[in-house]
């Protein structure tokens, strides 16, 4: 299982790549592995305003339907259109091609609440 060091993580199994005031969000390798084969993804519209801790989308797999929670508040500036027609990309490339949305942060202090790779790995080990 991969836990890239440059990313931040949530206890709901989302990852965040921080690039100044724009963050890229997706679900972790652990999340996609737990879900199994992903068959459908629902993402917000560009321009949607997200609130930290609230759902912004849905991932449906052969096993379950799961909400995806926003780790930060802000405005959606881009969505990964490829996932609409090929949601399985999340299974094969959760951290690169399987990113979900890009958000312009409204509160950078929220980033302090996220886990680093080591903390996230410890969290998973405790959860299992």
Q: Is residue 122 part of a domain?
A: no
pLDDT of residue 118: 97
Instruction: Report whether pLDDT(1) > 90.
Output: no
Does the global pTM surpass 0.85? yes
Q: Is residue 15 part of a domain?
A: yes
Residue-wise pLDDT tens digits, 71-93: 999 999 999 999 999 999 999 99
Residue-wise pLDDT tens digits, 29-63: 999 999 999 999 999 999 999 999 999 999 999 98
In terms of residue numbers, what domain contains 68? 8-104
Q: Is residue 37 part of a domain?
A: yes
CATH number (domain holding residue 73):
2.40.50.100
In sequence order, the β-bridge partners of residue 123 are none
CA distances from 70 to 14, 43, 85, 94, 128 (A): 8, 11, 22, 16, 23
Give the total number of structural domains in the chain: 1
Q: Is residue 14 part of a domain?
A: yes
């Amino acid at each position: 299982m991969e836990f890239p060091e440059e990313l931040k993580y949530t206890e709901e199994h989302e990852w965040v790549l921080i690039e100044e005031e724009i963050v890229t969000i997706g679900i972790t390798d652990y999340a996609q592995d737990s879900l199994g084969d992903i068959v459908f993804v629902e993402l917000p519209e560009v321009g949607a305003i997200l609130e930290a801790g609230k759902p912004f989308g849905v991932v449906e797999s052969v096993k379950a339907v799961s909400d995806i929670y926003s780790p930060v508040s802000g405005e959606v500036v881009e969505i990964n259109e490829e996932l609409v027609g090929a949601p399985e990309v999340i299974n094969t490339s959760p951290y690169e091609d399987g990113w979900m949305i890009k958000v312009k942060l409204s509160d950078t202090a929220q980033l302090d609440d996220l886990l680093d790779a080591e903390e996230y790995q410890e969290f998973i080990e405790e959860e299992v």
